[in-house]
Amino acid sequence: MKRIYLLATVGIMLLTACNNHASTAHDEHNHATHAHGAHDGHNHDGHNHNHNAHDGHNHDGHNHAPAAKAEPAQAHNENSDAIIIEPAKAKHLGIVSEKIALRSFRKSIPASGRIEAAQGSEHTIVATTAGVVNFARTLVEGQHVNKGELVLNISANHLQEGDPVVRARIAYETATADYERIARLLENRLATQAEYNAAKERYETTRIAYESLAKQHNTNGTGIHAQQGGYIKNCLVSEGDYVSMGQPLIITTSQNRLYLHAEVAQRYFSELHNIETANFRTSFGNNYYQLADMGGKLLSYGKSVGANSHFVTMTFSFEGRADLMPGSSVEIYLLGRQQEGTIVLPKTALIEEQGSYFVYVQLCPESYSKQEVTLGMTNGNDVEIISGLSAGQAVVTQGAYHVKLASTSNALPAHNHEH
């Protein structure tokens, strides 16, 4: 019985304490100053109080201590440096993120160089007779010609020497008659074998010359045809020029195979034996070409340096393309053997600021953070990341510039939720 009475007494005391605490809290809520702007101007005990302006004022004879300041509003993301871009907006801007995975990468050596026509890919069209040049159609450098196509005519109609085809025909007919005469005399033993051989030689020589010229002859003179298909590299004569037999007229290039000549600094000489292929970019474009995709192969590299050069030359051959010009300068990345387990990013992921490089890491679908990275080697398209990132992180690989703009302007307002 005493135990029941004791428990009841304790229960009543606890209930009384809770009620007093609630009453006190309610009284403080009605009379103390609050940091919540939503309750400013409430009327307490017949008085209209502005709590933001009267913290700590005495109301109805009561001295009220100022209430604690409200907690600052928390951002939607816990990282205060986070850049907020809504997923729909990011998609519209072309912002693309990719998860980092360790992959193979080739270390590279930077070099400069040029593209040249491969041996046998260039052909020089020469004059087969003397005369005046008359182009079959307008020809300019870079224009395509087909194999066997008529490119120009050489006419000798108004020259003192006369038409070479007519002269070749006359010489051939004369040599034929003399050869037949000597052959009959030899049968009757009235001519020697030496005379017969000499007559036969003159006959064969004039026959070949006449048939060659007659085959090329047309109403405009002697036609000159392209011996191989390709592009005109150089046109060495102009309309109306006089040319002699054997004179070069036009140089064509097939561009089926090209050479890539790389000039490498001497300090990389000890590493050249590891080079397997290369990437390059022309001075007139931004596209990087990969020799591995163009049937490229290493032909040789120099074992010495010339007296007037400070570079070692490496030469590759590869399949030509219409958008590559022999003789053009190129920026080259010589690629060595593959190494595994490397963090690699495309160059489009990098942002440069005063000599330092940064990327944007995606924290969640709408949040990004700026991260400084240390770069290693590059192959022209991709770059090795030495430090600053780890596998599994999502990094912006396209549209990094738009993320930078979002972090420095009010074009994309911060997405904060007050709590």
pLDDT digits (tens, 9 = 90+) for 210-239: 888 788 788 788 889 998 888 888 899 999
**How many separate helices (H) and strands (E) can be counted in the chain?**
5, 28
pLDDT of residue 310: 81
CA–CA distances in Å: residue 365 to residues 97, 175, 281, 303, 370: 10, 93, 36, 55, 15
pLDDT of residue 81: 75
Higher pLDDT residue, 206 or 378? Answer: 206
Is the domain covering 83-102+343-408 a CATH 3.40.50.720 domain?
Answer: no
Domain formed by 107-119+255-339, architecture: Beta Barrel (2.40)
Higher pLDDT residue, 21 or 272? Answer: 272
Give the C-alpha separation, 173 to 169, whole Å: 6
Instruction: Say what the pTM is.
Output: 0.50
What percent of the chain has a predicted confidence (pLDDT) above 70?
A: 78
Domain formed by 122-253, architecture: Beta Barrel (2.40)
For the chain, give every residue range classified as CATH 2.40.420.20: 83-102+343-408
Give the C-alpha separation, 108 to 379, whole Å: 6
- CA angle (414 as vertex; 411, 419 as ends), nearest 5: 155
pLDDT of residue 213: 79
Radius of gyration, alpha carbons of the chain: 45
